[in-house]
A and B are shown apart, each in its own frame.
Chain A
Amino acid sequence: MKKSEEQVQKDLLRPLFESSAGYWFAVAAAASLVLAGVFALLYGFYSGIGVWGLNSPVFWAFDITNFVFWIGISHAGTLISAILRLANATWRRPVTRCAEAITVFALSIGAIIPVFHIGRPWLAFWMFPYPSERGIWPNLRSPLAWDFFAINTYLIGSISFLFLPMIPDFALIRDRATGWRQKVYGTLSLGWQGTPRQWHRLETAMHIMAIAIIPVAVSVHTIVSWDFAMTPVPMWRSTIFGPYFVCGAIFSGIAALILAMALLRKFLRLEEYLQPLHFSNLGKLLLTFSLLWFYFTFAERLTTWYGNGESEMTVFWSTVRGQFAPLFWAMVTFNFLIPVPILAIKRLRTITGTVIASIFIVVGMWLERFLIIVPSLSRKYLPYAWGSYRPTWVEMTLMASGFGLMALLYLVFSKVVPMIAIWELKVGMQEPHHAGASEAVAAHAAPGKPAIGDLSS
């Protein structure tokens, strides 16, 4: 498939200037979920967060499950994009912006959940380290304080990583648009001109950011895992929780990315840009992480079972054959038994196949987070402190509104920014020019090499 640069721009800018009825319907549906969530939140502020279903000893449930889940989903984007960028994987080009946007939005949603979870979000500033007359400063030995630093570092890094490559695209829209759009995009483009110096600085900055963001992303979910691993609760004190959480985060993140790409492909008519190759490659990554996830889950469970500690085994059996067993076996089925054959067999690793596997994985990984939190909290060391938990409509509404907010942010973003980095795609299209100046390179590229405008390269 060959396309001119003009045609590529037209295709990728179309969603910014045209909207279908389906788009507005999706916006309305997502906004309705968000509004329902706002109502549930206000009700919780008025009545106290007991109406969420939280009670002694289960003080963390859907909310912290959602917190860990969304922070995990956020690992799809910036981390994967940074790795592919450093590895110079050419197929990454249509994928990176979709992925980076997921990171920023999922991280923002995840980061606000603990603020609401404290019950009085208007006092959240008490956690900030500043000299106050109260004389109560935050305890920087607590993993919750580490979360604050890690999540904010990752969020700032991810926003930068998303924004920087958008600058040249904003300049393109500035020069194409008229009226208010020209003013808005003119401001967003920061006056980008496109001189070689600017291009070099931008690419160097992206390279440094990519190097910096990978260890930050790993640290974020490791620190989230330490919220649990540093707490004396059965089945939480585990040394492998860090890598286990990071693996699960990337796993769920890739699944979310595949789902987002499939929706964008369908609704923004990007079939020629988000091709089966991209889904197949991400499917291979997903397969790897499905196997890794199973390895970690097995290792975690085996060491608990082998240790045979009374309190640990109480939680262990409650998940394997007790009250939580249906959720546990659903998790194993959704995260391993269903996706592995789909993703391992080339014939099944199609767009439809990877999307089906991803739906199961997203649900399965949410269940995994729930099963880490609630069974352990409801069966702590002393039986007198045992309790049970059942979610209320308030928690369910808040969970649904999280998905609604993600969808809404993504929809609005796709209306404001081209979901595929146009200049990066053009670099891929013109690869012979960029592989070196010599005529020999261009001549070498001619036979048997991807032609200019071949978007699958």
Chain B
Amino acid sequence: MKAIYALFSDPGSAQDAFDALRRSGPSMGIDAGKIVVVTSEPFEGYDFSDEHARSPMFPLAAFGGLAGGLFGYWLASFTQTSYPLPTGGMPIVTSWTNGIIIYEVTMLGAILTTLLTLLVTAGLPDYKPKLSDPEIWNGKLLVGVTDPPDGARAALEATLRQAGALTVKEFPAVAA
């Protein structure tokens, strides 16, 4: 993967660059999906961030909880009917006590589903080289374009600089 990117000192400038790339991208042959923002902390209230805010994690967690609860019911009742203990005339499958098992497995289902959804939707784990810069850890924000068309470099650099870029770089880094 190759990329051209710029570092910005504040999220406002990064947002300007993001908007400029979105506007002028099509004329340079850049697909919106190739525009990348990388930060060392989360930002809210900016379009580059908020457009990713919607996710199916809550309903999926609820679904995972439901599936867990059903599994918990099956596990408890199957265990009890497979080896019926003497209960003195009381039910073999007991809803009062099984409720505790069902509750715990419901919560476990929700937790595991959330974990799995996070990994899948955030693309983790993924150990392939990715666009980044050590400077982001010092508070800089990275805005760039992956695999830009060969002829678009100058226009891209100009767009990024106009938005307030501190520096414009290439990825992988070009040896001096």
Contact = CB atoms under 8 A, between A and B. Distances in A.
A393 interface: no
A381 B12 CA distance: 73
B37 interface: yes
A200 B52 contact: yes
Given A157-B107, A202-B118, 15 more contacts: A150-B104, A156-B111, A160-B115, A191-B130, A194-B136, A196-B43, A201-B117, A201-B122, A205-B57, A208-B57, A208-B61, A212-B107, A430-B41, A430-B139, A436-B45
A215 B111 CA distance: 12
Interface of A: 4-6, 9, 129, 131, 135-141, 145-146, 149-150, 152-153, 156-157, 160, 164, 167-168, 172, 175-176, 186-187, 190-205, 208-209, 212-213, 215-216, 219, 223, 423, 426-427, 430, 433-439, 441
B33 to A, nearest CB: 11
Contacts of B115: 160, 164, 205
Contact of B111 (A140, A157, A191, A423): A157
Contact of A201 (B98, B111, B118): B118
Contacts of B51: 196
Nearest to A149: B104
Interface centre among A196, A199, A205, A427 (most CB of B within 10 A): A196
B108 A439 contact: no
Given A160-B115, A196-B48, A153 B108 contact: yes
B101 interface: yes
Contacts of B124: 167, 190-192, 198
Nearest to A163: B115
Contacts of A204: 55, 57-58, 118
A135 B85 CA distance: 11
B101 A198 contact: no
Interface string B28-51: 000000001111111111101101
B82 interface: yes
B46 A197 contact: no
A140 B76 contact: yes
Interface of B: 10-12, 15, 36-46, 48-49, 51-53, 55, 57-58, 61, 75-76, 79-80, 82-83, 85, 87, 94, 97-98, 100-101, 103-105, 107-108, 110-112, 114-115, 117-119, 121-128, 130-132, 134, 136-139
A191 B125 contact: yes
Contacts of B41: 168, 199, 423, 426-427, 430
B137 A172 contact: yes
Which 9 pairs, one residue from A and one from B, show the smallest C-beta to C-beta distance? A199-B42, A190-B125, A437-B45, A436-B45, A196-B49, A137-B83, A149-B104, A205-B118, A191-B126
Contact of A208 (B79, B100, B110): B110
A433 B10 contact: yes
B45 A200 contact: no
Contact of B44 (A135, A139, A195, A434): A434
A253 to B, nearest CB: 20
A149 B110 contact: no
Contacts of B37: 195-196
Contact of B97 (A140, A175, A198, A205): A140
A196 B104 contact: no
A193 B129 CA distance: 10
Nearest to B10: A433
B52 to A, nearest CB: 4
B42 A193 contact: no
